[in-house]
Chain A
């Protein structure tokens, strides 16, 4: 018999290294000969879209187009340390460092523009599309490229760092502020349990994720859908089967991950509530997107067959055993 059930899972997650551990990202911004700006960060792109959103952050802060940002990362010979691509920390931490570096470079460019245009002050200047101009007299302007001409030998360059605020927890009381910021997410699923085979199928899903601000909604959705699939794998498929510290399920024959046929078309709900300490309000979501999925599925299994299973993955043998 096929039995259907619905379930939800709700979580919060602290991003960053946390617990008072120094969480530092550095970034450099450098004006190029042609008026473009190079950003140097040690952040790693693993497909999550770091290069894209970090380029967007720099472009926004400098009033440039994304094409005018030369984004250099990963090469440890030329980039400063921006910490690991872990703990869902790159958009927030390195994003903040990039924003600070881009703003500092912009301020420096404006200072040079004041000198070069022989103005009295930097008040009332605007920076847009690679030009610095007097807001009330826009034809009085100078381009980044013209400014760069004076610094061919020794380009204008700044380095900034961002350090996330966390404190160590008190060992006795467990009190403290171990993480900042936190993200929140909720997942709802509908599943179908085949009581003869024990197979669980996830037939529908909705995932809501608080992102602070979606710098790039399409990439956020990609993270959410990927997280849903990973959470589903964690909930009903993936089992390392550790025996005496050795992985027994060490190939895709027995370590089963979801295929396209297992994954339902899910609905994404991006919740925006800008975080005041974040670059343009954006928080990291790489990990939180997967966390509520397995609990939602296990709750739905309970709803469907009336048995509460507390061990993942809920493979068919566990369902059959529970139904006995």
Chain B
């Protein structure tokens, strides 16, 4: 057993963890943040993507203790307190960028990390930005459309 401090979606936590616990299990089992999905468990599919200190990481490959003092954003941290969706989430809905939804949380977080660094990416840059996130359903076109649209919404002043 070990105790770590970390911030998740703006909230500080002090949590007891097993040394061999993965970050994804901390998020899902200790904090009940079930929006983070486990697809492959070996760093290949991107379904478990979260943002840790500004970078996208696959939380199935990060050990929980490595998150000591980290600032983490999961999909639950994107909507506003009043339930208003983040512009990227809204754009995914509007463009039909979600089918089964399993890749969606990871996709949206990869999109956020991309747009935080590059507010007006080209379609190719968007495809590169989400190339670590596999989607079996959509064929990606509508996801790229949604991220393009989100970039415009964010520029007009979303959150």
Question: Out of A49, A252, A261, A263, which one reaches B141, CB within 8 Å?
Answer: A263
One digit per residue, 1 when the CB lies within 8 angstroms of any chain A CB and 0 when it does not, for chain B 125-138 equals 01110111111111
Among residues of B, the one whose C-beta sits closest to the C-beta of A232 is B139
For residue A222, CB closer than 8 A to chain B, the reply is yes
CA distance A222 to B101 in the complex (A): 13
Interface centre among A226, A230, A260 (most CB of B within 10 A): A260
Known: A47-B137, A226-B138, A251-B42. A260 touches B96 (CB 8 A): no
Chain B residues near A87: list those with CB within 8 A. Answer: none
Asked whether A226 lies within 8 Å of B40 as measured between CB atoms, the reply is no
A46 to B98, CA, bound (A): 11
Decide if A225 touches B40 in the complex (CB within 8 Å).
no
Please indicate the chain A residues that have their CB under 8 angstroms from the CB of B131 in the complex.
259-261
Specify which of A46, A47, A225, A252 is in contact with B142 (CB 8 Å cutoff).
A225
Summarize A's interface: helix, strand, loop or mixed: loop
Asked if B8 is an interface residue, CB under 8 A from chain A, the answer is no
Task: Check A222–B134 contact: CB distance below 8 A.
Answer: no
Q: How far is the CB of B111 from chain A (nearest CB, A)?
A: 11
Contacts of A224 in B (CB 8 A): 139
Is A194 an interface residue, CB under 8 A from the partner?
no
Q: How many residues of B contact A (CB 8 A)?
A: 28
Q: Indicate with 1 or 0, residue by residue over A251-263, a CB within 8 angstroms of chain B CB atoms.
A: 1110001111101
Check B143 for interface membership: any CB of A closer than 8 A: yes
* Contact partners of B140 in chain A: CB under 8 A: 225, 229, 258-260, 263
A229 and B44 contact, CB distance less than 8 A: no
Complex Cα gap A265–B143 (Å)? 11
Encoded as 1 (CB less than 8 Å from any B CB) or 0, chain A from 213 to 228 comes to 0000011011011111
In the bound complex, CA of A221 to CA of B132 (Å): 23
Q: Are A260 and B99 in contact (CB under 8 A)?
A: no
Say whether B1 faces chain A, with CB atoms less than 8 Å apart: no
| Overall SS of chain B's interface | loop
| Contact of B139 with A263 in the complex, beta carbons under 8 Å | yes
Inter-chain contact B96/A221, CB cutoff 8 Å = yes
Q: Which A residue's beta carbon lies closest to that of B45?
A: A252
> Nearest CB to that of B110 among chain A residues?
A260
A67 to nearest B CB, angstroms?
16
> Once the chains are docked, how many angstroms separate the CA of A257 from the CA of B40?
13
Does B12 touch A at the CB level, under 8 Å? no
Residues of A within 8 A of B127 (CB): 259-261, 263
Which residues A229-256 have CB closer than 8 A to chain B? 229-230, 251-253
| Residue B28 is within 8 A (CB to CB) of chain A in the complex | no
The answer to the question of A266 belonging to the interface, with a C-beta cut-off of 8 Å to chain B, is yes
Contact B96 A47 (CB under 8 A): no
Q: Residue B16 at the A interface, CB < 8 A?
A: no
A49 contacts B99, CB within 8 Å? yes
Q: Does B123 contact A (CB under 8 A)?
A: yes
Residue-wise interface mask of B (73-97) relative to A, using a CB-CB cutoff of 8 A (1 in contact, 0 not) = 0000000000000000000000010
**B44 adjacent to A48 (CB under 8 Å):** no
Give the shortest distance, in Å, between B39 (CB) and chain A (any CB): 8
Using a CB-CB cutoff of 8 Å, which residues 60-95 of chain A contact chain B? Answer: none
User: Hey, which chain A residues are within 8 Å of B130, CB to CB?
Assistant: 260
A230 to B139, CA, bound (A): 8
Chain A residue at smallest Cβ distance from B102: A47
Chain B residues, CB < 8 A from A230: 136, 139
- Asked if A253 contacts B44 (CB within 8 A), the reply is yes
